[in-house]
Structure 1
Amino acid sequence: MNTRRLTKSSTDSSLHGVCGGIAEFFGISSFLVRLIFIMTPASLIVYILLANMLPDSPRRISSRY
């Protein structure tokens, strides 16, 4: 049983990682999600709510040196 949760992205974030987290959850481009947020009239209110309600994704140890 695979239980996926919608979380903020720790790797793809411009402000709070909300759009990146939505993109990772649905497997789509984060640019597309950001574009949808820009085009939607009530997007600022929704973004603020999601930024405060979504949990942070667990931090992963990166092997980039």
Structure 2
Amino acid sequence: MEKKLKRTPSDKMIAGVCGGLAKYLGWDSDKLRLIYVLVSILSAAFPGILVYLILWFVMPEEEF
């Protein structure tokens, strides 16, 4: 079975990007969100926001 990177509608706070990444990597979504926010803040926030917006539009949403 091939894993696909998709946004999750069931595990989302804004658009489901971090939930989809966590599911794809097999990680806990809350921990991934925390890591993502910390990395974004430590890198002056702009790159993290830009990457999130790009992933929001590029990643398809998971279907039920």
CA distance in 1, matches of 2:32, 2:56: 14
Any stretches of 5+ residues in structure 1 without a counterpart? 60-65
Q: What corresponds to 1:17 in structure 2?
A: 16
CA distance in 2, matches of 1:33, 1:47: 13
Matched, 1:49 2:48: no
Is the helix fraction higher in 1 or 2? 2
**Identity within the alignment, %:** 29
Runs of 4+ in 1 over 6 A off after TM superposition: none
Summarize deviations over 1:13-50 as a string: whole Å, max 9, x none.
00000000011111111111111211122211110110
Any stretches of 5+ residues in structure 2 without a counterpart? none
- Name which one, 1 or 2, has greater alpha-carbon Rg: 1
How well do the aligned residues superpose, as a CA RMSD in angstroms?
0.9
Number of residue pairs aligned between Structure 1 and Structure 2:
58
